[in-house]
Amino acid sequence: MIAKNQARRQPLRRLTAGAVLAVVCALVATVGAQEQPGAAASDGGATGSSAGGRVLLVLPFDNRTGQPSLEWMREAAAEILSMRFASAGFQPTSRADRVYALDHLGLPQGFHPSRASALKLAQTLDADSIVVGSYSIDGTTITAEASLVDVPGLRMLPAVAVRGEMRDLMGVFSGLAWQLTRELDPTINVNEATFIAAGREIRLDAFEQYIRGITEPDQAERQRHLEQAVKLSPEFSPAWMALGREDYNQQQYAEAAEAFAKVDRNGADRLEASFYRGLSLVFSGDYAQAAGAFAEVARVLPLAEVLNNEGVAVSRQGKDGTSLFIQAAAADPNAADYHFNLAVSLKRHANVPGALNEMAQCLKLRPGDSEAQALEAAWKEEANGSGAGGLASQASKASPPPHGPGAPAAPAGTAAGSDPLERIVRSFDAAAFKQAAAVMDQIDAGRLAALGSRDRARALSTQAKGYLDRGLLLEAERLYQAAVAADGKSAEAHAGLAEVRERGGDSDAARKEAQAALELKPSVSAYLVLAQLDLAAGQLSTANTEARNALKLDPANRAAQEIVEQILARTGQR
């Protein structure tokens, strides 16, 4: 659930002060660091188009089938389109943000907005465009139709439609997303086949279970559907993320940690998954792994809540987490709990003056904190030498920190109260994380723009290869296209596009790109694309030559060896 705090009531583009500070910290921490070879670009990476920064609100589609059993497709349409828009470089608002905005406006989740209310909803979410649509059924054929609403211009664009078989539901809505993307940004030249291929690996029955799992009002039913979704499609990351949230909300922390661990480590949910995995591990008593989970997030975006919780996990192991608490308090100096934690850590390591100073800061921000008051009084008494047992007696009378159910007990051998526990931050401000990540993306884009055309193409191709290796064709094509735009003579970019086209099923375009790459520079990947295409077309002699050319460049290449073995088997030479 989204925390309905005051920060979330601000337009989503307004970056919180803490997030800004965290981004600055991240930049300082990464100065001089070497980029990892093959690292995938973030979703907002430079593309050479105007997509980046465009916020889209995709509303659930109208069910015009007359069949209540197909009501789940309302949310499915919005989910598929949002995934494709994100892959194309836009910023679609999440379902959670939409649900929060509806609640903020006093509207139910299943509300069917009019044009006026849709515009109000978009303005609440600071969206540039709204996508509204519907679907209907004729036998086994589905027709999906959608229109774009330009929020600043208060105008609706002409509708676009896609028709296809129900069994290809993912492809139908992906094709619709492609048409809308071309309307949103005509400069994007990503192939339609790539859009459709992007959802090919997701089983439709698993996707249906996932949608039912995030929309069912009954918790037990949500759990059942999500467990079925991951069983049907174990690689479907969003289902694992949703299941992890359900387990976490039910205080099933061991199960939650396991689910969050299976979320794509490079996907859009990776930071939130690692944060909540860290919390789940803390509440399960596995402090070492919890510290690692928080550290994983902090390496990308060292926000205050992450640094604080990493410090908690470190200190629960009997180690010194002071430096992490210092960083957390510096990143968000107006949070009383960070000063409290720093005070406790400093006192534990015999820095009484520093501890008293930090506790004073805590009480200045939260004067009614009874535990902080008691500790400050006890520490002052101890510092003045009046009462050897003052600290223990005073702290034992203090109210326990508001950890809530599921909070771990004090470490073994520690008397409750005599050594107060640092406080854990349980909330994850996804909006702040996304906005901070967007700032980092803009900085990365600026760095790319400062490179020469050849170096920029090489960097983009390297990032694209990271996506391609993970099967994310749409993201890969977007960056390979940007690389070609930067340097049309980049053999690496053309070879990458050839592989994207081949995987997407566009044989002619794949062959064209592979040949363009080979004209510029011989490469294993380009030869392999041609060999695969010719093998599929029955051109065994040509395929054999291309595979052997690949082996000349890389004698140990397993893919090329397998093609040669297949050819030998077909020609009876094995």
Print the SS3 string covering 335-368: CHHHHHHHHHHHHHCCCHHHHHHHHHHHHHHCCC
Look at residues 510, 511, 567, 572 and name the one whose alpha carbon lies nearest to residue 541: 567
Supply 190's token pair: 């990503």
Q: What does the pLDDT read at residue 156?
A: 85
Q: Tens digit of pLDDT per residue, the chain (574 long)?
A: 333 333 333 333 334 444 444 444 444 444 334 343 333 334 444 444 455 568 898 999 999 999 999 999 999 999 999 999 988 889 898 888 888 777 777 776 666 666 677 777 777 778 889 899 999 999 999 999 999 988 888 888 899 999 999 999 999 999 999 999 999 988 888 888 888 888 777 899 999 999 999 999 999 999 999 999 999 999 999 999 999 999 999 999 999 999 999 999 878 788 899 999 999 999 999 999 999 999 999 988 888 999 999 999 999 999 999 999 999 999 999 999 999 999 999 999 999 999 999 999 999 999 999 999 999 999 999 888 754 444 444 443 333 343 333 333 333 333 334 578 999 999 877 666 667 666 766 777 788 888 899 999 999 999 899 888 888 888 898 899 999 999 999 999 999 999 999 998 889 999 999 999 999 999 999 999 999 999 999 999 999 999 999 999 999 999 999 999 999 988 887 6
Say if residues 305 and 427 touch (Cβ distance below 8 Å).
yes
Which helix (H) or strand (E) segment is 166 a member of?
none
Say if residues 19 and 303 touch (Cβ distance below 8 Å).
yes
Supply 473's token pair: 């064709």
Supply 59's token pair: 């509303």
Question: How many Cβ atoms sit within 10 Å of the Cβ of residue 380?
Answer: 15
Classify residue 258 by its DSSP letter.
H
Q: What does the pLDDT read at residue 113?
A: 65
Vertex 225: Cα angle to 472 and 271 (nearest 5): 45
**What is the amino acid identity at position 373?**
Q
Fold of 44-200: Rossmann fold (3.40.50)
Say if residues 31 and 103 touch (Cβ distance below 8 Å).
no
Cα distance between residue 259 and residue 241, in whole Å: 7
Pairing of strands 129-138, 141-150: antiparallel
Which helix (H) or strand (E) segment is 81 a member of?
helix 72-87
Q: What does the pLDDT read at residue 187?
A: 85
Say if residues 479 and 461 touch (Cβ distance below 8 Å).
yes
Q: In CATH terms, are 44-200 and 453-570 the same topology?
A: no
Which of 314-342 are b and which e, b meaning 16 or more Cβ less than 10 Å from the residue's Cβ?
bbbeeeebbebbbbbbebbeebbbbbbbb
Say if residues 408 and 285 touch (Cβ distance below 8 Å).
yes
**What is the amino acid identity at position 395?**
A
- Neighbouring residues of 194: CB distance < 8 A, sequence distance ≥ 6: 473, 474, 477, 500, 501, 504
Q: Where are the domains of the chain?
A: 1-31+286-450, 44-200, 453-570
Question: 145: which strand partners?
Answer: 134, 161
Say if residues 434 and 14 touch (Cβ distance below 8 Å).
no
Which of 253-284 are b and which e, b meaning 16 or more Cβ less than 10 Å from the residue's Cβ?
bebbbbbbbbbbebbbbbbbbbbbbbbbbbbb
Say if residues 489 and 520 touch (Cβ distance below 8 Å).
yes
Classify residue 69 by its DSSP letter.
G
User: What distance separates the 2 farthest-apart alpha carbons in the chain?
Assistant: 96
- Superfamily for the 1-31+286-450 domain: Tetratricopeptide repeat domain (1.25.40.10)
353 burial (CB, 10 Å; 0-12 / 13-18 / 19+) is exposed
Pairing of strands 155-156, 55-58: unpaired
Look at residues 313, 287, 318, 285 and name the one whose alpha carbon lies nearest to residue 413: 318
417: phi > 0 → left, psi -120 to 50 → alpha, else beta; which?
Answer: left
pLDDT tens digits, one per residue of 440-468? 667 777 888 888 999 999 999 998 998 88
Q: What does the pLDDT read at residue 437?
A: 66
Supply 18's token pair: 């803490």
- Superfamily for the 453-570 domain: Tetratricopeptide repeat domain (1.25.40.10)
Say if residues 150 and 107 touch (Cβ distance below 8 Å).
no
Cα distance between residue 207 and residue 229, in whole Å: 7
Look at residues 218, 205, 262, 255 and name the one whose alpha carbon lies nearest to residue 238: 262
